[in-house]
Structure formats: C-alpha cells, structure tokens
Amino acid sequence: MKQTALLAIVAILSTAPLLAQTAEQRAEATATSDVAELRSASRLPEAVKEARAAGTEEEEIANVVKDIQEKRLSSGEGVNTIRIMEENTTDGVSNKGISDFVAEQKAKGVQGEELGKAVKAELQARHRVRVEEGRGATERKEERTGTEEETLESQPTGRGGQGQGQKEKGQTGTQTPESRTEEETAEKPTEKTTK
Amino acid sequence: MKRRVLLIAVLTALVVVSCSEGKVEKAVSQQSIEKVARIAAMLESDEAQALEMMTAEKMTVDQYKEIMTAIALDEKLTNTFVQAKKTFMEQYK
C-alpha cells in the first residue's frame, strides 16, 4: 500500500515538469495566435475602406464583418476575403452571394489560406460562367438576325425591285411600298377579300 | 414568500443592468476609437508594447476585435479610425 502510494507520488512529480512545459507552450501558442488575431483585426477597417472605395457590395462586406463578430470567421480569414472581393470588384466582377459561399466552406471545415483560395476560385468560376452566358446570348442574337436576313433575301425582289440585285448580309431590306404590297398579296392570297 | 420576491427583484435588476451595459458597449465612442487606433498603430512597430498598452487599458483580444468589427460596419467610424491610426503611426516612428 505504502509502496503504491510512493510510486504514485513519484509518477506525479515526474510528469509535473512535462505538464508545466506543455502549459507554457500552450500559453506561447495562444499569445502568438492572439497577436496574429490582433494584427488582422487592426487591418480590418483599412481593408473594408479600400473595398468600399473600389465599389464592393456593402451587403457582402457587412456579412463578412458580422461573421468575424460572431466568430464564424477569424479576423485573418475575414480580411483576406474582403481583399479578394476588392480585387474582384476592380476586375469588374460581382461579389454577390460570396458571403454565403464563405459560410458554406467554413461549415465544411475549410479555413485559413485554403478558404481564401476557395473563394478566389469560386469568384473566377462565376465570372467565367457569366462571360460564357453573355457570349452565348450574343451568338444566338447574331444567328437570329442572320436567318431573318436570309429569309428576306430569299423572297423574290424582281417585281418591285428590278436592278436591285442581291443584298449584302447585315443590311436591312428596304423595299418600295408597291413591291411590299405586291409581295404581301403574293404571300397571303387567302387574305384577299372581294368587295 | 418574501425571500422569493427579493430574489426575483435582484435577478431582474441584474438582467436590466447587464442589458444596459451591453447597449453602452455596442456604441463605439470616440475614446474607444482612439484607444484601438493607438494599439493598432503600435502593433505595426512594437508588438510587446502594443500588448502592454492593451493590458494598461484592461482590454482583452475579444473586446479589441469587437470594437474593430463595430468600426468596420460603419463607414464614418472606419474613416475616423484609419485617419487616427495613420496619425499615431507617424507619432510612433
């Protein structure tokens, strides 16, 4: 009994310095992380000011700052996100909805630099999609105007427009009123009414 | 019965006081902006001194962050802070 008690005391005494060391290391680690948090927090107002000056959406800025307030984001992550949003705005791209994406990524456990990379990638992907959609829309428009002009060209122009020749693509067909009415009657014979 | 009434009264008073304290803290004063601007300026050059300043002001990291986020949410406060920080940084050079 006495021996076990002695052994227990010895074991406790031997682990005490180790425990003290780990406690010191933890204290140092928290001190370093505190300083890092303080630095990032002190840069937050400047980052926000620059983002506002660039024209970044106020709603998105406010959402990120509120996430920092409610400890869903660290100060460093918040500042980094706002800086990425500012760069994005300078490139002429919208940041709408990006604060929701940040919240989703944090919920998945993405943090620190990885979060910044994910936000940047997401904004670039959204921009690409918008550019492609824009291109697609303009191509469709061109196709439509092209087919309309082709149908105009294929219509007989000889009746009212001898010597007019073929029209170039891109030009809108100009027809004399006489030829137009002749063509309309030619196209729609059923509409003739006998008076 | 009297003890219960007294206890409820004390608890209510505590709740009211804590709520009013919270409201006062949320409004960022010019004094608070100046304090955090000084600390922020000092952090850029001397971390140890900045931490000492925080201890002297009896300010925790969380309180500092709370003030900073409140400043960031308001455009006028942000501009005031940025200007104050620049001024103090020049002083501490």
Q: Which of A33, A48, A65 to mutate to test the interface with B (most CBs of B within 10 A)?
A: A48
Which whole number is the average pLDDT over B10-29? 60
Tens-digit pLDDT string for chain A (195 aa):
788 888 878 877 877 777 767 767 766 666 677 888 999 999 999 999 999 999 999 999 999 999 999 999 999 999 999 999 999 999 888 899 999 999 999 999 999 999 999 999 999 888 887 778 777 877 787 777 776 666 666 665 554 444 444 444 444 444 444 444 444 444 444 444 443
Q: How far apart are CA A57 and CA A99, in angstroms?
A: 11
B29 DSSP assignment? P
Nearest to B73 among A38, A46, A62 (CB): A62
Judge whether A36 is closer than 8 Å to chain B, CB to CB.
no
Distance from CA of A116 to the nearest CA of B (A): 20
Distance from CA of A110 to the nearest CA of B (A): 22
Q: Do B69 and A37 touch (CB under 8 A)?
A: no
Instruction: List, in order, residues 6 or more apart from A179 with CB less than 8 Å away.
Output: A157, A159, A160, A161
For A89, counting Cβ atoms within 10 Å of its Cβ (0-12 exposed, 13-18 middle, 19+ buried), the class is buried
pTM (predicted TM-score): 0.64
